[in-house]
Amino acid sequence: MNITAQMVKELREATGAGVLEAKKALEAHDGDFEKAADLLREKGAARAAKRADREANEGVIELYAHPGNRVGVILELNCETDFVARNEQFRELAHDLALHIAAMNPQYMNAEDVPQEELDRELDVLRNQALAEGKPEAIVDKIVSGRLNKFYEEFCLMEQPFVKDESIKIKDMITEAVRTTGENIKIRRFARYELGEAL
């Protein structure tokens, strides 16, 4: 199939890939836009994984107060260089993450951060729910696994769908930022405060 400049342009706009990269992806899949886009996303995730071990000591501390000043967030977002830290897109990412934390109130950064005793308790509750609903014993584990993923999406920041666009998870936003900046980017830590919450 003949790959046109318009096809390359559309793929670049959709994925943020370079001209050559977009053209090669289209050629590899005979002009199939969806398959080419998937290939570029996979490559972006692989590159992000390669960069994950690099030091990220620059960045910003983002302060966000929700309108009405009833909820506030402090977020540390790190990158490798002060050049990226001053970049408008990086600062926008920090702001969006802080806004998301204010709205969604994550309790943990990653699924691995959930304490084992809390995880065990949640698994027991989910198992008992499934059995109480009369689900067959043979499929209870599958049901519990699916519901556990929902638990992670509710309480773990990196697993949460982004509050402004639920089609993308926070971990995917970070991966995309790594791909576009070429640097390792990490949410180092965050804290959320709500007026009157129990201390």
Residues 55-108: tens digit of each pLDDT? 777 999 999 998 889 999 999 999 998 899 999 999 999 999 999 999 999 999
Pick the CATH number of 115-153 from 1.20.1300, 3.40.50, 1.10.286, 3.30.300: 1.10.286
Secondary structure (DSSP) of 94-124: HHHHHHHHHHH--SBSSGGGS-HHHHHHHHH
Q: Say if domain 58-109+156-194 classifies as CATH 3.30.479.20.
A: yes
Q: Say if domain 5-51 classifies as CATH 1.10.510.10.
A: no
The answer to whether residue 6 scores a pLDDT higher than 60 is: yes
Report the C-alpha gap between 27 and 29 in whole angstroms: 5
List every span in the chain annotated with CATH 3.30.479.20.
58-109+156-194
Model confidence at 199, in pLDDT bands (50, 70, 90)? low
pLDDT at 56: 72
3-state secondary structure string, 154-181? HHEHHHCEECCEEEEEHHHHHHHHHHHH
pLDDT at 189: 95
Model pLDDT for residues 131-143, shown as the tens digit of each residue:
888 888 878 888 8
Average pLDDT over residues 12-35: 76
pTM of the model as a whole: 0.69
CB 44 within 8 A of CB 179: yes
Strand stretches in 28-67, DSSP E: 58-65
Residue with tokens 């930022």: 177
